[in-house]
């Protein structure tokens, strides 16, 4: 057994946790929309064609904000195609995913689905094939009350009240050579600035995110953010980050290095953004929107990305997640929570079927992938402020990072209820960890409300249609409280959530 120590103090706070950190992503790609969230004729479909089994799992997953309609799809999308009478909507070729888009699901359908799922929408505008004029028109259609051609058109389409969509992305991955009508940093910075200006004129209450690097190892990484923000700094609120974790060495220990890389990625983008602010003598701080992230490395061949013949809703990148993928995603969530002073939104990409935590069969069942559980538990239990943690843990060396502590942890404290939650990942693959957690200044007479662990002896274990519960959370009985201290025994290679409360704190229960 190895020993680790986790120390927090009620006076040392990183920031209040923005609940939008637990977002997800719906793109017109593969089966995310069609036979994912939307399947008229399915046994569970409601009057809008929304799968109720998927809606129930979405509510259990607990996303707070959802990004739509893309993704790469966004850079070739005409929003007008997806509104109005369905029988009049055009069928288009989708150049992003070499598919045929029927447009039977669009803006108003998505907003009805988001309302039923109780999720805030995050919309994007096409800055690939289109530009500022279409962006302001789309915003006017969605958010203006009435009395103009576009707002009255929305009302003719059966939506009397404005959608009042507050969060908007200015394009998608415009640095990527795969992107439809990619831009140089100068080109994108200029168009982002002008688009932001006209959108704010239509609705000054919106929040805007500019595109950052599509991944941390892009050739233009760093330079892209600096140039883009140099142009549009005054008009935007966020810069985006995207990353997909890979297991290039087929080694769990190396795979865990993605967690450290994510932390470094965040801190580097913060440094670049603050450098731009310093040069402009501005006290404004650009926040980070980690609006695409997930494990993705198995379904990456050309056959996984494109199907011949322009099919409708083909099976694209339907990654089958295993247990070690869930551990890496849990570690990424810990990193984002520990950077909550700057990471204010994040979107697990995507929600259903396409690298999704939820899988479906057309006409059949829906089930939870392994990565479902760390996200669902973090979204359920992480409320309040994130405390600054001191981690004392043995570590190991890897090719990806010279030193990787076996313990990865975050502590979130809710002053309103008195609840303190510890999220902990034991990255040692063969040894239990005895973890001593010192919760200083957070009350005594502490009791454990629940202690959950996600563990499996086989790192490659998966959940399938035939065996949907192979990997699932269980109670960890080896957690006890002693005054301000908790002592927990964590299994090798395990994700853990400990929910505790002190009897002498506000909102405490017996």
Q: What is the β-pairing status of strands 474-475 and 238-245?
A: unpaired
Q: Which of 429, 415, 420, 433 is nearest to 389 (CA)?
A: 420
- Residues annotated as catalytic are 173, 292
What pLDDT shows up at residue 506? 53
For residue 218, give both structure tokens: 């892009």
For residue 32, give both structure tokens: 């995310």
Expressed in percent and rounded to 5, the helix, strand and coil fractions of the chain are 30, 25, 45
What pLDDT shows up at residue 400? 83
What pLDDT shows up at residue 303? 86
β partners of residue 475: 452
What pLDDT shows up at residue 282? 98
In our burial notation (b when 16+ CB lie closer than 10 A, e otherwise), range 402-424 reads eebbbbbbbbbbbbeebbbbbbb
What is residue 433's three-state secondary structure? Answer: strand
CB atoms within 10 A of CB 165: 21
What pLDDT shows up at residue 503? 82
Phi, psi (rounded to 5 degrees) for 154:
-60, -40
Task: Give every residue of the chain whose pLDDT is below 70, as ranges.
Answer: 506-510
User: CA-to-CA distance for 66 and 71, rounded, in angstroms?
Assistant: 12
User: Tokens 């076996």 correspond to what residue?
Assistant: 406
Burial class (CB in 10 A: 0-12, 13-18, 19+), 507: exposed
Which alpha helices (H) appear in 298-437, and where do they start and end? 302-305, 323-338, 372-381
How many CA atoms, within 13 angstroms, populate the side-chain half-sphere of residue 14? 24
Residue pLDDT, tens place only, 101-114: 999 999 999 999 99
What pLDDT shows up at residue 507? 55
- Give helix 323-338 / helix 372-381 axis angle, nearest 10°: 30
Q: Which of 81, 111, 107, 110 is nearest to 93 (CA)?
A: 81
β partners of residue 244: 294
């Amino acid at each position: 057994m190895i020993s680790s120590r986790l120390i927090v103090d009620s006076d040392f706070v990183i920031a209040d946790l923005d609940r939008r950190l637990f977002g997800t992503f719906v793109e017109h790609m593969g089966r995310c929309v069609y036979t994912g969230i939307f399947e008229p004729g399915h046994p569970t479909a409601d009057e809008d064609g929304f799968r109720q089994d998927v809606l129930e799992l979405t509510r259990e997953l607990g996303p707070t904000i959802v990004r739509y309609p893309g993704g790469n799809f966004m850079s070739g999308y005409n929003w007008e195609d997806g509104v109005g009478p369905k029988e009049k909507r055009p069928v288009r070729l989708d150049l992003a995913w070499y598919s045929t888009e029927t447009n039977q699901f669009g803006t108003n359908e998505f907003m009805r689905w988001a309302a039923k799922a109780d999720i805030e929408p995050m919309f994007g505008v096409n800055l690939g094939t289109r530009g500022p004029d279409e962006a302001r028109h789309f915003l006017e259609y969605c958010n203006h009350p009435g009395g103009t051609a576009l707002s009255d058109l929305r009302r003719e389409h059966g939506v009397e009240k404005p959608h009042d969509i507050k969060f908007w992305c200015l394009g998608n991955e415009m640095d990527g050579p795969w992107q439809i009508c990619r831009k140089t940093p100068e080109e994108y910075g200029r168009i982002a600035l002008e688009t932001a200006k006209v959108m704010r004129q239509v609705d000054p209450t919106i929040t805007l995110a500019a595109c950052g690097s599509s991944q941390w190892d892009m050739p233009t990484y760093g330079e892209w953010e600096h140039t883009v923000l140099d142009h549009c700094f005054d008009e935007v609120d966020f810069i985006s980050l995207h990353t997909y974790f890979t297991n290039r060495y087929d080694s769990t220990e190396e795979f865990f290095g993605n967690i450290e890389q994510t932390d470094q990625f965040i801190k580097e983008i913060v440094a670049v953004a603050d450098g731009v602010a310093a040069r402009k003598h501005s006290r404004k701080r650009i926040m980070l929107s980690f609006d695409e992230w997930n494990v993705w490395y198995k379904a990456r061949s050309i056959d996984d990305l494109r199907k011949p013949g322009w099919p409708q809703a083909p099976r694209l990148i339907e990654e089958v997640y295993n247990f070690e993928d869930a551990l890496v995603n849990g570690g990424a969530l810990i990193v984002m929570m520990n950077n909550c002073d700057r990471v204010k939104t994040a979107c697990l990409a995507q929600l259903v079927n396409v690298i999704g935590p939820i899988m479906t069969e057309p006409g059949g069942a829906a089930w939870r992938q392994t990565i479902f559980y760390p996200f669902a538990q973090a979204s359920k239990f992480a409320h309040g402020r994130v405390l600054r943690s001191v981690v004392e843990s043995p570590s190991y060396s890897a090719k990806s990072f010279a030193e990787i502590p076996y313990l990865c942890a975050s502590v979130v404290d809710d002053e309103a209820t008195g609840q303190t939650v510890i999220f902990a990942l034991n990255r040692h693959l063969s040894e239990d960890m005895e973890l001593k957690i010192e919760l200083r200044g957070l009350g005594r007479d502490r009791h454990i409300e629940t202690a959950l662990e996600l563990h499996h002896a086989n790192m490659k274990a998966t959940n399938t249609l035939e065996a949907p519960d192979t990997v699932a959370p269980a109670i960890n009985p080896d957690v006890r409280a002693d005054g301000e201290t908790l002592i927990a025994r964590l299994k090798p290679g395990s994700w853990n959530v400990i929910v505790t409360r002190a009897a002498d704190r506000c909102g405490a229960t017996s």
